[in-house]
Structure 1
């Protein structure tokens, strides 16, 4: 009886420990999904659609590699915020000279504007496809989303997270239905997860690959994540080590969802367009109009546009938060969130409206792909400081990067820089 009682007590303790872990994870979850939003914004759609229609499943390996890199980099960003108590912008302000600090800040602002440009275009296209609103008017209407941001921020951070998670679920649900309708070749898709040297050798494939990298690994998300995890740590009375573990799980799960959404977009294009010989479909509007006749289901195009609209609105929210964190961290300048949002959005609306007027939908899509390449070119200026700071024992203490993590982090930084140099060389 005594032995039975001991065993029962041990099982009870294990069960309570498991329950406690899941309760803590549920309480902590949220920052990872804020970050994951940026990894499935409208910019991803243009690059993934173009890659899938032109090259089938070949660039799935790029989507996978970019997602794995994102998981590593976001884990490092969370570690910086939790261990050092600083977001990436604050760390740069404290450890770099004023000239370097200003340069990094301006580069980050360019990345945020490029990201916002993708959101403007994506949302305007979705409004046009769903409701027939002219593209130029749709672009102008996106300036009003500042009201949505303000309303959610005033309701509390948890409500903001819930809204974002709900939209993520909507996007994922839409693409699950799309893949069921498209019936992709799963064997070919699995083969596409293996990298092929032809991606580097062919400039057109490399351009799209770097566009996918820029659309997947977002520079400003590193600043955002390193900040938002600190607020959650202050609310939860747990140690730094456990906080870091929960933050890593949170972001990894959320980014896994982002990977499946990005892979689904590329697979949808490969199964629907590339398989039918339509390798020229690189335009979101084209894809919308072709999905219903090619899949034989009237709901296909509608689901596509609904997911695009949800994607644009989701990215709008996190872009605003990242912009505030970057401005306050680098130059300690605080302005009202609505004013910050309005300035950033107007800087994106003007070029988008001009392109919509002069070139139409095709020009908008080209601008969308270009915005993602710009993001990729800005990425090293966020990655290199992040790797440096998380490898600094004086700043990180016992949470400094270990040997193998340090090697992986430096390898990712070198790969990002190398791919960007190759891109610049190919475009000379």
Structure 2
């Protein structure tokens, strides 16, 4: 097991940089206005935020809003606050040590433990990719009339998009992601205006309701929202891509980079909070209030939106945002898969091979479920994929909190005691909710 000093020495000598040639490839200025320097660092946070508004979030948010009204807005807010803290910790680890979370786990744990953590993370990436396959296929069906099976198979071709973007450099990748995020934000801003939700009821939804824990159906959706919001592979992703900035690898340079990285991710996750809340608010306003409490499927939501709102454009905006969400998630999931495989196994696959591997594994269950249970089965599979993500969270969160609490690894950027306490409290909440879900599942509660 290496200590933190060994990590920093390895990084300073140029050994095993995370993301290879993309490491320190984006120039940043050490002078100029604060805003100009922030703009140079902005990008990684928005790439991470993609995972917080992917198609998996849509399924849990729509089901939660339709069934329980505005009640689960408190869960979205809590999940987002957790995400802000955890992503800041991931950025801190990468900047302070020059290691991403996968590399840190490989260095700190025995090989069997590291392999187990790798398998858990790969399961999370596959679950995420499963949601992207279903979401993108549904969007293609809604916009262009493609059958769901054909759309799912067609998603395998997005490897060409990944290859094109990666060849143009990391800034091009970030620009593509931010452009699609802007489309998603604009679509939902327009839908919220059309839905005109009651402000008092919306604000009341951000106050925690005991029913979230006592009602098994609400708890299942709450944990799904948590899994869809705080995604385990995003912690690996963020700890790596913050290192794409060419900040000075010295104490002062690292401290400055951390400040800008935290602002970047916090702003980006605030955007994600708006999108997630907007989906649930729209479902609560349009479906729950209108008596359509059983709406769970994205296609059903699409079909009902325009008639219930009386505006034909509403459903189209919904489908366009869904397609943008699926495409965006494709980019970040591929990058996370590359980081995890390289970090844990020191194994690098070509981008096209990595993408086809994860996408191929994800397509199989979609095809099987669609064939056996019809398109209605994909909705349940989508929500289940988010619960699987939540169950994997402790295996990423606990090592992360351990590492950033260790002064021998982090040096001057070790987290202060108050943040350490808060971080362990977040980890405890995640583990506790998962144990409650597991117990309810086993006992039939």
State which of 42, 45, 56 in structure 2 corresponds to 1:29.
42
The answer (yes or no) to whether the contact 1:320–1:341 under 8 Å persists in 2 is yes
The answer (yes or no) to whether the contact 2:75–2:225 under 8 Å persists in 1 is yes
Q: What is the match of residue 145 of structure 2?
A: 132
C-alpha offsets along residues 236-267 of structure 1, whole Å, 9 cap, x if unaligned?
Answer: 99711111000000000000000000000000
What does 1:352-363 correspond to in 2, within 5 Å?
A: 352-363=366-377
Q: What is the match of residue 181 of structure 2?
A: 168
Q: Please give the alpha-carbon distance, in whole angstroms, between the structure 2 residues aligned to 1:128 and 1:234.
A: 45
State which of 284, 287, 291 in structure 1 corresponds to 2:301.
287
Q: TM-score when scaled to structure 1?
A: 0.95
Q: What is the match of residue 230 of structure 1?
A: 243
The answer (yes or no) to whether the contact 2:65–2:281 under 8 Å persists in 1 is yes
Alignment pair present for 1:270 and 2:284: yes
C-alpha offsets along residues 120-174 of structure 1, whole Å, 9 cap, x if unaligned?
Answer: 0000000001111000000000000000111111111111100100000000000
Q: What is the match of residue 197 of structure 2?
A: 184
Deviation for aligned residue 1:191: 0.7
Q: What is the match of residue 165 of structure 2?
A: 152
Q: What is the match of residue 3 of structure 1?
A: none
Q: Which moved more, 1:194-203 or 1:313-322?
A: 194-203
State which of 387, 390, 397 in structure 2 corresponds to 1:373.
387
Runs of 4+ in 1 over 2 A off after TM superposition: 233-238
Q: What is the match of residue 397 of structure 2?
A: 383
Q: What is the match of residue 430 of structure 2?
A: 416
SS at match of 1:276: coil
1:94/1:77 CA distance change after superposition, 3 Å: same
Q: What is the match of residue 342 of structure 1?
A: 356
State the superposition RMSD in angstroms.
1.3
C-alpha offsets along residues 319-364 of structure 1, whole Å, 9 cap, x if unaligned?
Answer: 0000000000001011101101100000001111111222222111
SS at match of 2:325: helix
State which of 52, 67, 90 in structure 2 corresponds to 1:39.
52
Q: What is the match of residue 267 of structure 2?
A: 253
Aligned residues: 412
State which of 81, 90, 106 in structure 2 corresponds to 1:77.
90
The answer (yes or no) to whether the contact 2:128–2:386 under 8 Å persists in 1 is yes
Deviation for aligned residue 1:234: 4.2
SS at match of 2:33: helix
The answer (yes or no) to whether the contact 2:247–2:254 under 8 Å persists in 1 is no
The answer (yes or no) to whether the contact 2:152–2:363 under 8 Å persists in 1 is yes
Q: Please give the alpha-carbon distance, in whole angstroms, between the structure 2 residues aligned to 1:236 and 1:381.
A: 29
Q: TM-score when scaled to structure 2?
A: 0.91
The answer (yes or no) to whether the contact 2:139–2:320 under 8 Å persists in 1 is yes
The answer (yes or no) to whether the contact 1:82–1:233 under 8 Å persists in 2 is no
Q: Please give the alpha-carbon distance, in whole angstroms, between the structure 2 residues aligned to 1:315 and 1:165.
A: 12
Deviation for aligned residue 1:84: 1.0
State which of 340, 343, 347 in structure 2 corresponds to 1:326.
340
SS at match of 1:23: helix
List alignment gaps of at least 5 residues for structure 1.
1-16
SS at match of 1:366: helix
What does 1:41-56 correspond to in 2, within 5 Å?
A: 41-56=54-69
State which of 68, 78, 91 in structure 1 corresponds to 2:104.
91
Q: Please give the alpha-carbon distance, in whole angstroms, between the structure 1 residues aligned to 2:32 and 2:193.
A: 35
1:185/1:70 CA distance change after superposition, 3 Å: same
Q: Please give the alpha-carbon distance, in whole angstroms, between the structure 2 residues aligned to 1:19 and 1:83.
A: 24
Deviation for aligned residue 1:54: 0.3
State which of 217, 223, 226 in structure 2 corresponds to 1:210.
223
The answer (yes or no) to whether the contact 1:28–1:236 under 8 Å persists in 2 is no
Q: What is the match of residue 206 of structure 2?
A: 193
Quick check: which has more Rg, 1 or 2? 1
Q: Please give the alpha-carbon distance, in whole angstroms, between the structure 2 residues aligned to 1:159 and 1:62.
A: 34
Q: Which moved more, 1:93-102 or 1:236-245?
A: 236-245
C-alpha offsets along residues 72-107 of structure 1, whole Å, 9 cap, x if unaligned?
Answer: 000000000001111000000000011100000000
Alignment pair present for 1:308 and 2:322: yes
Deviation for aligned residue 1:233: 4.1
